[in-house]
Structure 1
Amino acid sequence: LRLVQCWQKAGIRLAEVAFDPSRPERDQTVLKTIELLCRQTKGSMIIGAGTVISEEKLKAAHKSGAAFMVAPNVNKKIIKKANQLDMVTLPGAFSPTEMEKAYEAGADFVKVFPASVLTPAYIRAVTNSLSQIPLVAVGGVSSQNAGDFLKAGSCAVGVGGRLANKDMIRQGQWNQIEQEAVDLVNAVGNAER
């Protein structure tokens, strides 16, 4: 909760709580965290589930209050089910073909992952041809490059490790985490001008 409070203070309004396929024993913790954040933030933040790779996890996340789902891949069944549950969908894609398949399957947004490997130039090239598909750059995005991805055509960015650094959390470096969040919000704001 402290981490999300840092983000809120900085102006971030969406948070993803991710499942870890290598640690299914933690699924209940993920679901309880989604539920707790939904209750604690009382609508001031939109909470979603990440790494949703099965309909079972999707339904459980929805039941816990998740408003959106993020996936590492394009699974048409999961996208369709999420649409039926009125959840916003962000399936992951790497190639223009995958992006188009995700969008045709009903994705609201397409997560371009890993964005840092693909670069803003890649986003620009793809959006020149597939401008109807709202792309979200995720993976290796920070306050230093978020603006570049937005200027290149991403409609949003997703930031993970830079805002949820486990070492910084363990050491209680909340001011540094909040500053990184402020820097990110400023970078996004500057890119939108």
Structure 2
Amino acid sequence: MSIESGIEAIMRTAPVIPVLVIHDAAEAKPLAEALVRGGLRVLEVTMRTPAALDAIREMKQVPGAIVGAGTVVSEQQFAQVMDAGAEFIVSPGLTEKLADPIIASGVPFLPGTATAGDIMRGLDLGLEHFKFFPAETSGGLKALKALAAPFYQAKFCPTGGITLASAPEWLAFDPVLCVGGSWIATGSLDEVEAKAREAAAFPR
């Protein structure tokens, strides 16, 4: 499976990818179990906390979970998350220095883009699947529709400011395969599971 077919399969697994900021690795496995029970199998653990690497390792133990690393911004972080078992990589932006080793590794990769230049740089690297980030503050759905028009082959996962209320409108736009959201992983585990079940039922 190629990088591109791999990331597309991951993006099509569920309508929403939970974006997870984990401060205590002990909470990671129960959280992943609740999300998977609710129907959201693809989990993005952001590299924003010291607990992130251990959280990836914990979540990998949950049957059915597809665990990736988000907010990867350097080659060093890429090496660390691969060692922890990350199954896909998400970055907030796109640079050749970061992209080259990720592409060479063959791991599914979802780089952040916010401009036409970003998308063109990705296409030059052989990529067609992108995170649109930060989605709302970069102009929202109106901006993505304008950006996507010249790039018929590009598919997107908008992330940043997406909510329960706004997610269905984003998902109704054909180039959007899924959205990233942090709203799901709040509250008790029962609440997380209920939110996941609701998000998993969004039409696409």
Mapped partners of 2:30, 2:58: distance in 1: 12
Structure 1: gaps spanning 5 or more residues: none
Contact kept? 1:90, 1:108, Cα under 8 Å? no
The higher-RCO structure (CA 8 Å, 6+ apart) is: 2
Q: Is 2:118 the partner of 1:90? A: no
| Cα deviation, residue 12, structure 1 | 0.6
Mapped partners of 1:9, 1:184: distance in 2: 12
Mapped partners of 1:177, 1:37: distance in 2: 15
TM-score calculated relative to the size of structure 2? 0.79
Q: Secondary structure at the match of 1:114?
A: coil
Q: Is 2:57 the partner of 1:35? A: yes
| Cα deviation, residue 108, structure 1 | 5.1
Residue of structure 1 in register with 2:125 after alignment: 105
Q: Of 137, 141, 147, which residue of structure 1 is paired with 2:162?
A: 141
Q: CA 1:107–1:62 in 2, change beyond 3 Å: closer, same or farther?
A: farther
Mapped partners of 1:49, 1:106: distance in 2: 21
| Cα deviation, residue 116, structure 1 | 2.1
Q: How does 1:37-186 map to 2 (within 5 A)?
A: 37-38=59-60, 40-42=61-63, 44-107=64-127, 109-117=129-137, 118-152=139-173, 153-160=175-182, 162-165=183-186, 168=187, 173-186=188-201
| Aligned CA-pair RMSD | 1.6
Q: Per-residue displacement from partner, 1:47-82 (whole Å, max 9, x unpaired)?
A: 111111110110111111101111111111221211
Q: Of 1, 5, 11, which residue of structure 1 is paired with 2:39?
A: 11
Contact kept? 1:58, 1:82, Cα under 8 Å? yes
Mapped partners of 2:42, 2:128: distance in 1: 15
Mapped partners of 2:161, 2:120: distance in 1: 23
Mapped partners of 2:62, 2:30: distance in 1: 11
Contact kept? 1:14, 1:45, Cα under 8 Å? yes
Runs of 4+ off more than 6 Å:
none
Q: Secondary structure at the match of 1:62?
A: helix
Worse-superposed segment, 85-94 or 100-109: 100-109
Count, aligned residues: 174
Percent identity, aligned pairs only, is: 24
Q: Secondary structure at the match of 1:135?
A: strand
Richer in helix (by share): 1
TM-score calculated relative to the size of structure 1? 0.83
Residue of structure 1 in register with 2:6 after alignment: none
| Cα deviation, residue 143, structure 1 | 2.6
Structure 2: gaps spanning 5 or more residues: 1-28
